[in-house]
């Protein structure tokens, strides 16, 4: 059986690290083993990145960008293989995997603009014969810790921008689906990236802690659950590192009485059940304003859900696949059960869904739950599965209070034909990414991605302009070349321009 190792200093390495199984979620079978590196493996990767940094930081941004252009081409050329690896280890249907890859490629495209993004700022004659300008310098060795649900896209949020800014990088992907990250790292080497600039270490908590405490790592970027994000942020900060840690979500969609119902239903199906609900931007709660629209929406959803197809990743006709592990399946089923026990109505129950021929897979079918209240544990938690909960309120303000009072503030949207209502919503909702008749308001690559409240720890969002700022530090230079015939008198007060 294949053992997945690490990628350090340009080489695939299988060391003497202990291993753990990697499952095919569609079949429930062990498909590979993955080496679980610890502090020693992290030390080796950081040493390679540190050695590569001096030459890489001096490489002109245009040359770095040319490597990214080639990398983009290779990602597109090998898209089928990348999507296959995602499907085999995550379970994501091939069309969904292709969408994930495309969103990642768009971040590579943005990183190709490094010569423009790193230009800095210049001010002439800020004082007599004095010029001042800012430059953006790389930090050094930086690291990324990425989740299982987007094994390609989220790493591509991080290391392309970090690298074009002149940093070297250590990536710790999820040990649940590690192959795709290793594969794209090899493509980047093929594109011309010098050895040591990008390193990939598979591991668990020991590897994470080694990253957070390593003296030579300057910054850490993380995407995952809120409890882990908070731990990452606090530990990194305590060790003097810059950190951005994106956490969990409970994304609500407000459905107004005037909403286009067909649009609502089609949007909710994809946003709630796509990728088996394993998205931090999944719409997991529909808040219906008024019983009339709630009843119509639920009737239409129940009818449409009968047509959904669940199954193996390689069949493009399927809408979504399994969840990532048996343990996660049990967690999702537990939330469905608790909702019923606490008084909600499970209208469509996917607990017993088992596609023919894949009875041992980690499948949970599309589930619809009505009459959910904010006291229920299934509402308070991030279920991270194909479960759509419906809440009923009487006013838009009541719906907005639900969202603003929730501890998460990642994504939200409103369905309405009323421009005044939409404007009021976007102005006053306390959430980082907001949609109007858009179910998944994920910002494009040349903006930035991040939530509010306990969905983000740190000051800067992911990728886009904030990504440039996160992976660089500003240096401001003030310069004067005085005339040989002029001698400045001694001055003991703060310099000012009068």
What pLDDT does 413 receive?
A: 98
Task: Kindly state whether residues 464 and 409 are assigned to the same domain.
Answer: no
Task: Kindly state whether residues 146 and 276 are assigned to the same domain.
Answer: no
Q: Is residue 488 part of a domain?
A: no
Residues known to be catalytic: 280
Q: Which residues of 335-348 are buried (b: 16+ CB within 10 A; e: fewer)?
A: bbeebeeeebebbb
DSSP code per residue over 179-244: HHHHHHHHHHHHTTPPTTSEEE--BSHHHHHHHHH-TTEEEEEEES-HHHHHHHHHHHHHTT-EEE
Q: Is residue 243 part of a domain?
A: yes
Task: Kindly state whether residues 184 and 266 are assigned to the same domain.
Answer: no
CATH number where 382 lies:
3.40.309.10
Task: Kindly state whether residues 241 and 256 are assigned to the same domain.
Answer: no
CATH number where 157 lies:
3.40.605.10
Q: Is residue 12 part of a domain?
A: yes
Q: Which residues of 86-108 are buried (b: 16+ CB within 10 A; e: fewer)?
A: bbbbbbbbbebbbbbbebbbbbb
Task: Kindly state whether residues 199 and 173 are assigned to the same domain.
Answer: yes
Mean pLDDT, contiguous 10-residue spans, the chain (498 residues): 95 92 97 96 98 98 98 98 98 97 98 95 90 96 98 98 98 98 98 98 97 98 97 98 97 98 96 96 97 98 97 96 98 98 97 94 98 97 97 98 97 98 98 97 96 96 97 95 75 80
Judge whether 212 and 232 are in contact, CB under 8 Å.
Answer: yes
Counted domains in the chain: 2
Q: Is residue 486 part of a domain?
A: no
pTM for the predicted model, two decimal places: 0.95
Task: Kindly state whether residues 98 and 180 are assigned to the same domain.
Answer: yes
Task: Kindly state whether residues 275 and 222 are assigned to the same domain.
Answer: no
What pLDDT does 481 receive?
A: 87
Task: Kindly state whether residues 375 and 468 are assigned to the same domain.
Answer: no
Q: Is residue 204 part of a domain?
A: yes
Q: Is residue 441 part of a domain?
A: no
Q: Is residue 493 part of a domain?
A: no
Task: Kindly state whether residues 110 and 222 are assigned to the same domain.
Answer: yes
Q: Is residue 473 part of a domain?
A: yes
> Residue 237 and residue 291: Cα distance in Å, rounded?
48
Task: Kindly state whether residues 91 and 239 are assigned to the same domain.
Answer: yes
Task: Kindly state whether residues 151 and 173 are assigned to the same domain.
Answer: yes
* Structural domain boundaries enclosing 300: 251-436
Task: Kindly state whether residues 88 and 126 are assigned to the same domain.
Answer: yes
DSSP code per residue over 127-195: ETTEEEEEEEEE-SEEEEE--SS-TTHHHHHHHHHHHHTT-EEEEE--TTS-HHHHHHHHHHHHTTPPT
């Amino acid at each position: 059986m294949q053992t997945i190792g690490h990628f350090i200093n340009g080489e695939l390495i299988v060391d003497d690290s202990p291993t753990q199984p990697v499952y095919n979620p569609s079949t429930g079978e062990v498909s590979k083993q993955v080496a679980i590196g610890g502090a020693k493996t992290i030390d080796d990767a950081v040493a390679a990145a540190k050695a590569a940094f001096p030459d890489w930081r001096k490489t002109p941004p245009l040359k770095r960008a040319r490597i990214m252009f080639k990398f983009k081409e290779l990602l597109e050329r090998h898209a089928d293989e990348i999507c296959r690896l995602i499907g085999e280890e995550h379970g994501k249907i091939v069309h969904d995997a292709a969408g994930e890859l495309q969103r990642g490629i768009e971040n590579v495209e943005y990183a190709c603009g490094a010569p423009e993004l790193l230009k800095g700022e210049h001010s002439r004659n800020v004082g007599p014969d004095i010029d001042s300008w800012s430059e953006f310098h790389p930090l050094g060795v930086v690291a990324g810790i990425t989740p299982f649900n987007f094994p390609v896209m989220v790493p591509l949020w991080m290391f392309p921008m970090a690298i074009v800014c002149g940093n070297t990088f250590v990536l710790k992907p999820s040990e649940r689906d590690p192959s795709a990250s290793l594969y794209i790292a090899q493509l980047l080497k093929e594109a011309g990236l010098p050895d040591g600039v990008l390193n990939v270490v598979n591991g668990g908590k020991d590897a994470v802690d080694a990253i957070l405490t390593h003296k030579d790592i300057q910054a850490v970027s993380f995407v995952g659950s809120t409890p882990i994000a908070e731990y990452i942020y606090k530990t990194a900060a305590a060790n003097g590192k810059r950190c951005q840690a994106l956490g969990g979500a409970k994304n609500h969609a407000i459905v107004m009485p005037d909403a286009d119902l067909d649009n609502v239903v089609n949007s909710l199906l994809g946003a709630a059940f796509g990728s088996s609900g394993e998205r931090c931007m999944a719409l997991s709660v529909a808040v219906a304003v008024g019983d009339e629209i709630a009843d119509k929406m639920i009737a239409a959803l129940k009818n449409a859900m009968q047509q959904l197809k669940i199954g193996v990743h390689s069949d493009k006709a399927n809408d979504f696949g399994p969840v990532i592990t048996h343990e996660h399946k049990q967690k999702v089923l537990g939330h469905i059960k608790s909702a019923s026990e606490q008084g909600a109505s499970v209208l469509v129950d996917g607990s017993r869904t088992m596609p023919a021929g894949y009875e041992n897979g980690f499948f949970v079918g599309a589930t619809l739950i009505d009459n959910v209240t904010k006291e229920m544990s299934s509402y308070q938690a991030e279920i991270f599965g194909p479960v759509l909960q419906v809440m009923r309120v009487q006013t838009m303000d009541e719906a907005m209070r639900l969202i603003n009072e929730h501890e998460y503030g990642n994504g939200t949207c409103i369905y309405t034909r009323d421009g005044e209502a939409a404007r009021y919503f976007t102005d006053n909702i306390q959430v980082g990414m907001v949609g109007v008749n858009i179910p998944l308001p994920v910002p494009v690559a040349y903006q930035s991605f991040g939530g509010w409240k306990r969905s983000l720890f740190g000051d800067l969002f992911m990728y886009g302009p904030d990504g440039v700022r996160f992976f660089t530090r500003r240096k401001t230079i003030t310069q004067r070349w005085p005339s040989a015939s002029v001698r400045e008198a001694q001055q003991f007060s703060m310099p000012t321009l009068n």
